[in-house]
Amino acid sequence: MGQAIKHAYDLDPCVAELYDQQETQTSDIELLRRLIAAKQELRILEPFCGTGRILLPLAADGHSVDGLDRATPMLDHARAKLACLTPHLQERVRLLQMDILASPWPGGYDLVILGGNCLYELATPHQQETCIARAAQALRPGGYLFMDNDHMEGDLDPAWRNADVRAAFPRGTCADGTRIQATRQTVWYDAPNRLARFAREIRITRPDGSVEQQAYLEQKHPVSHDELAGWLDAHGFDIRATYGDHDQSPYTRDAPRAIFWAQKAPRNTRRNNR
Ligand SMILES: C[S@@+](CC[C@H](N)C(=O)[O-])C[C@H]1O[C@@H](n2cnc3c(N)ncnc32)[C@H](O)[C@@H]1O
């Protein structure tokens, strides 16, 4: 599209604070805990780790967790939370700043987590498939991938095609009085290829009344169960379970989420071609 796609998370420390104010769900962490219950002290990689919402509780459970993210404000917020925890726990967490698409990921992990709708951070199906390929490379043979996204089958949801200006994240007021208001408006879509571009406007009002504005374009591709299942197969995973929500309800076409628990084929194991 000729214009670099920027990201709200890179803009301001207040965005990270608002993320933690508003993203308080723990049902995905509880699901992960149930799935890994019998497995002890795993080496876990969480790309798109943000403020450590998922990663820090898993480190508290005794796992070693590496988080990858490109946004300085999100990583700084995660580091500030980590600094309040015990030295022993701090030793089990590494936070690395990188663009997930630009550099190879570290390797040798027992579990890779692509949680919290992170595939919606990416602009194209090719980029989303690249994440699954990189997850396969980062896992040891027999390691697991947990993938959890809102899901949309078929045509683009009408809400993605509607050109109304809508309120969007980040929005709210931070402890120091900084206020953020953001909107999103669909400016283009390609229904058959399931792509949409949004004009994003973000207004930051400082406690002294000064105002900063940011405007940029972003493109998204909604996640479909069938696409993900095909990419998992193509990159050497066996799907062990799929769920339609964090309570482990079976996946159906109209389920709110597409959740995959997949295993990288163990070494020397011949996979059936499905
Ligand atoms: C919605 S937050 C999710 C955070 C966390 N996974 C959770 O569930 O709470 C998405 C994160 O992905 C990061 N991100 C988006 N695109 C990225 C990229 N290309 N490389 C690295 N990080 C990226 C953003 O900076 C942001 O922190």
Pinpoint the residues of the chain covered by CATH 2.20.25. Answer: 158-220
pLDDT at 252 over 70: yes
Nearest residue (by CA) to ligand 1, atom 26, is 50
How crowded is residue 193: how many other Cβ atoms within 10 Å of its Cβ? Answer: 11
CATH of domain 8-154+222-264: 3.40.50.150
Fold (CATH) for 158-220: N-terminal domain of TfIIb (2.20.25)
Q: Span 149-155, mean pLDDT?
A: 90
* DSSP states of 65-111: EEEEES-HHHHHHHHHHHHTS-HHHHTTEEEEE--TTTSPPP--EEE
Predicted confidence band of residue 274 (pLDDT cuts 50, 70, 90): very low
CA 268 to ligand 1 center in whole angstroms: 34
Q: Which residues contact residue 86 at a Cβ distance below 8 angstroms, ignoring those fewer than 6 apart?
A: none
In the beta sheet, which residues pair with residue 214? 202
Ligand 1 centroid vs 147 CA: distance in angstroms?
14
Mean pLDDT, to the nearest integer, of 104-121? 97
Distance 252 CA to ligand 1 centre (A): 27
What pLDDT digit, counting tens, does each position of 167-224 carry? 999 999 999 999 999 999 999 999 999 999 999 999 999 999 999 999 999 999 999 9
Measured in residues, the chain has a length of 274
Please, where in the chain does CATH 3.40.50.150 lie?
Answer: 8-154+222-264
**The one-letter amino acid at 260:** F
How far is residue 42's CA from residue 79's CA, in Å, rounded to a whole number? 21
Q: Is the CB of 101 under 6 A from ligand 1?
A: yes
Q: Indicate the top mutation candidate among 118, 223, 257 to test ligand 1's pocket, ranked by most ligand atoms within 8 A of CB.
A: 118
> If you measure from the C-alpha of residue 38 to the centroid of ligand 1, how many angstroms do you get, rounded to a whole number?
28
